[in-house]
Amino acid sequence: MRATVWPGYAGVAMLAMLAAGPAFASKADAPVPGRTVALMREKGMAPGAGVLVRVFKKEAELEIWKQRADGRYALLKTFPVCRWSGRLGPKRKTGDRQAPEGFYDITPRLMNPNSAYHLSFDTGFPNAYDRANGYTGSYLMVHGVCSSMGCYAMTNAGIEEVYALLRDAFRGGQKSVQFQAFPFRMTAKNMARMRDDPDIDFWRQLKAGYDRFEATGQPPRVTVAGKRYAFTPYRDRGLEAQATTRLHAEQEAIARQIDDGAPSIRITYADGGMHPHFARMRNHPSLGIISRPEALAFAGRDVIIRPGVRKAPPVMVAQGAVSLTFARLASGPGAGPTALRLPATDAQGALPTSPSARIALAHDGARAAMASAAPTVATEGAPTPVTGAYAASLTSAMSSWPHGVIAMGPSAP
């Protein structure tokens, strides 16, 4: 009796699986989830429209951007990365466990529906930049599970949705998908804080492409020149103007961050990182085997290697109103002038453009000009030179004053 019941149950179960089978004949053919399809409709994106992928190591996040009806790419969805390996910085050689950074092109032939890691697509490493610099390595993937050896591991559920979005874009006619891999979100603050890292020159190259995309919503036109990333101007002059404006604004913003006292840091990694979402559930059986879990103990911690120094505000030298305190000092005991007149300077045309250099020049120039000029006191008539022993002692004292003493604007008497 029991022998007849169990086979019958198994047969019913198998028939149910076969009945449901056509829609999920292969995990590579699983549809994009309904909630994501609804999100696309909400954002004006067609299911077969083009996509672009961005990944950030420090934040352990992968973004899918999708083209809207107006041709501009917009963020569709952000996925947590379960595991990446290595540290911040590019991959340079086989076996260094580094996940790649840079700009890559994913084509349909790099999609792997039969991956040993559920599903995967190859990042395209090495690209032209990597080859020009002699970097080696292969089969660096975005895949399922939560184990990495130079890859970005998304878990099986994560890679299924990401894979489906790329697959549908290819079916919609997209020839290649740009894959942008960054060490961190390339904000002015992060660039200022990482300014002493050995890889900062490489990251500045990536930052140029990052800013072009942020400004225009169009994939940057990537090329390689002199073993460095370079970016061909957009054909549309309006887009290129947007990109140029953004690039200049970000350079100013980075300089301001440094001027405002941003510290120089490094970020600790023994072997890669993990998104906090998965870190909270790292012992859950659904994640399976996690590569080198012991290496995550101190991952992603900021360590200050050089404290920042906040610079004082810039000082105007020529024809400026000097603080009331300084004017009274310059006038000598018992006098009460309202302003100290300084000789005009023609150095304005030679001022540098960066905030950091401008501020340094302002401090040094103000001190030198005020120390070398014969102080004069403004009275109701013509300026009266301050002479005698008091003027000599004042001039001597000014030459040794710290930058902060020479300040503009109101102050306590």
The catalytic residues are 143, 151
Distance between CA atoms of residues 293 and 274, nearest Å: 10
Distance between CA atoms of residues 333 and 342, nearest Å: 20
β-pair partners for 137: none
Beta carbons of 135 and 177 less than 8 angstroms apart: no
CA 240 from chain center: how many Å? 20
Residue given tokens 């930049």 in the structure block: 129
Distance between CA atoms of residues 122 and 159, nearest Å: 12
Per the rule left: phi > 0, alpha: psi between -120 and 50, beta: everything else, 227 is: left
Distance between CA atoms of residues 10 and 45, nearest Å: 43
β-pair partners for 171: none
Distance between CA atoms of residues 153 and 271, nearest Å: 14
Cα–Cα separations (whole angstroms), residue 184 to 61, 64, 311, 340, 397: 9, 16, 27, 50, 49
Q: What values do phi and psi take at 76, rounded to 5? A: -95, -50
